Amino acid sequence: MSNANVTILEMQPSDYHDMYELWRSTPGIGLSNADTKENLEKFLDRNKGLSFVCKHEDRLIGTVLCGHDGRRGYIYHAAVAEAYRGKGIGRSLIEKSLEKLKAEGINKCHLFVIADNTSGHHFWTSVGWYKRDDILVYSKDL
């Protein structure tokens, strides 16, 4: 990222509406009732300093939502506005979160990609992540 008008900042609850709009408009991002403003505020409070946004001037153009359970890190909702893809923004956001996880003693991170999100699969493998074939994810609504 060489543009002087592009900055990476710690994610704040005040970024919610712009983030949600980016997520909503990004194919491959799955949204649910876990993505309410109140739930995001709880997540950010529990995982201080791990999630980031990227802004071009005052426009939010990228996000990475990151947390950990004390043992493993997790990345959710990594997204970059389509017009800004291919410029290293996603990679920079991810690296920032991974650096923070490592500083907290977390040495492995997982993420979830929707099965038919081909651009997501391509991005993650291009930045060094590998697909696990040995585990399945099960979920239950509470």
Q: How confident is the model at residue 142 (pLDDT cuts 50, 70, 90)?
A: confident
Quote the CA–CA distance of 113 and 131 in Å, as a whole number. 10
Is 103 inside a domain boundary?
A: yes
**Per-residue pLDDT at 46:** 97
Is 1 inside a domain boundary?
A: no
Average pLDDT over residues 113-122: 92
Quote the CA–CA distance of 15 and 17 in Å, as a whole number. 6
Which region among 43-47, 61-65, 87-91, 135-139 has the lowest average model confidence (pLDDT)?
A: 135-139
Is 26 inside a domain boundary?
A: yes
**Per-residue pLDDT at 83:** 95
Is 133 inside a domain boundary?
A: no
Domain count, the chain: 1
Q: Which amino acid is at 52?
A: F
Is 65 inside a domain boundary?
A: yes
pLDDT per position as a tens digit, 10-24: 999 999 999 999 999
- Which residues span the domain enclosing 38? 6-126
Is 87 inside a domain boundary?
A: yes
Long-range CB pairs of 122-129, under 8 A, 24+ apart, other chains included: 123/90, 127/90, 127/91, 127/94
Is 141 inside a domain boundary?
A: no
pLDDT per position as a tens digit, 70-84: 999 999 999 999 999
Read off the pTM: 0.93
DSSP the chain: ---TTEEEEE--GGGHHHHHHHHHTSTT----GGGSHHHHHHHHHHTTT--EEEEETTEEEEEEEEEE-SS-EEEEEEEE-GGGTTSSHHHHHHHHHHHHHHHTT---EEE---TT-HHHHHHHHHTT----SS--------
Q: How confident is the model at residue 5 (pLDDT cuts 50, 70, 90)?
A: confident
Task: Look over the chain and give the mean of its residue pLDDT values, rounded to a whole number.
Answer: 95
Q: What is the CATH number of the domain that holds 85?
A: 3.40.630.30
Is 10 inside a domain boundary?
A: yes
**Per-residue pLDDT at 141:** 86
**Per-residue pLDDT at 96:** 98
